[in-house]
Structure 1
């Protein structure tokens, strides 16, 4: 028999500690974290925003069979300079190239969000923020590379850390640049029946 008083489970299909921390900021603790393992190679002519949406959609779909009857949230964040997608730098040399490219110019950060509801409906959207870097000199870039903060970060920087020293201006959601746009995520959840405020006041325990 189904317990109708029990809040539905929320599964986060992401291993990102930043997304987990951002959800906690609005009082939401995922019931389980189940990262998706998919091919993240961009298509030959794929634009950054549709690419972020596709990855979020595919990440959610990849694990949905394991979590029927739950809410399943997936996200993917992409840094882009024009049509060029800057993923996670594979090494220090690539990270240096990314930072040199971002220096003194504006770029966009796109986060794709995809939610699968307990009845199997999938809703996917994206949020975009514009970020402008100050001009970086070689000393600043070298120091940042030595910090190691660039590792595992789209575009090779973390706005919530030392990377904040590079940010001259942001237009749009700050939390989107970190990895999960909170206002839009909350609206996506609550707009599809998830008891956001009930869960925010009664956080559950994460099971990894």
Structure 2
């Protein structure tokens, strides 16, 4: 019997969809974003272990949301096979604590980005975490967590002013996009580049391959 070949991607992120298309052809991906906009945040969490746990809870909740949509719409999970949801956060460090830098927005977003780059990024390192939740057609589930360390060079004020004027930081985790203008500030990374963009491809490939999703459909 052939394995189900189509994956439901529970994400509105164009970067995440584009990354998944590196592994699978476009016709094998169906996008069904979560409906619930409210999700648990990271306020008050100052330890990396607590942040990791919360991130995994968030992707599990998103996965349940998408699965419920499919059940309500009577989607054919025998054909679709797996629901995949993911979330990416940037974690900065200050003294002995860790904390999540969210997505800058609101009327003061420029000042927020300026503060992050000046105080938490310039000549420092931070972590980018992505949690991925899988729910398979047979009812089994799996969650993975990938971490990449990003090293920033000393931030040039003139370059930062230019970057803020591009408005690229808006809506991006941590206020920068490493796949575009944000790369100008990066000195080096340790770990997966695709993880920083939004989906750790090697780890995702391994999980899907273990469940026989990476073979070409017959």
| Band the TM-score falls in, shorter-chain normalisation | 0.7 to 0.9
1:55-74 Cα offsets, whole Å, 9 max, x none, are 21111111112335230000
Match of 2:10 among 13, 37, 47: 13
1:3-57 Cα offsets, whole Å, 9 max, x none, are x557443100000000111111223435321111341422533633223222211
More helix by share: 2
Q: Unaligned 5+ residue runs, structure 2?
A: 72-76
SS of structure 1 residue aligned to 2:173:
coil
SS of structure 1 residue aligned to 2:175:
coil
Q: Is structure 2 residue 215 aligned with structure 1 residue 165?
A: no
Q: Unaligned 5+ residue runs, structure 1?
A: 203-208
Q: How many residues align?
A: 196
Q: 1:76 — aligned with what? A: 87
Q: 2:116 — aligned with what? A: 98
Match of 1:190 among 201, 209, 217: 209
How far apart, in 2, do the equivalents of 1:6 and 1:125 lie? 22
Q: Displacement of 1:75 after TM fit?
A: 0.5
How far apart, in 1, do the equivalents of 2:3 and 2:87 lie? 29
Taking structure 2 as the reference length, what is the TM-score of the superposition? 0.83
Taking structure 1 as the reference length, what is the TM-score of the superposition? 0.86
1:87 to 1:146, Cα distance in 2 relative to 1, 3 A: same
Q: Displacement of 1:197 after TM fit?
A: 3.0
Q: 2:102 — aligned with what? A: 87
How far apart, in 1, do the equivalents of 2:40 and 2:14 lie? 19
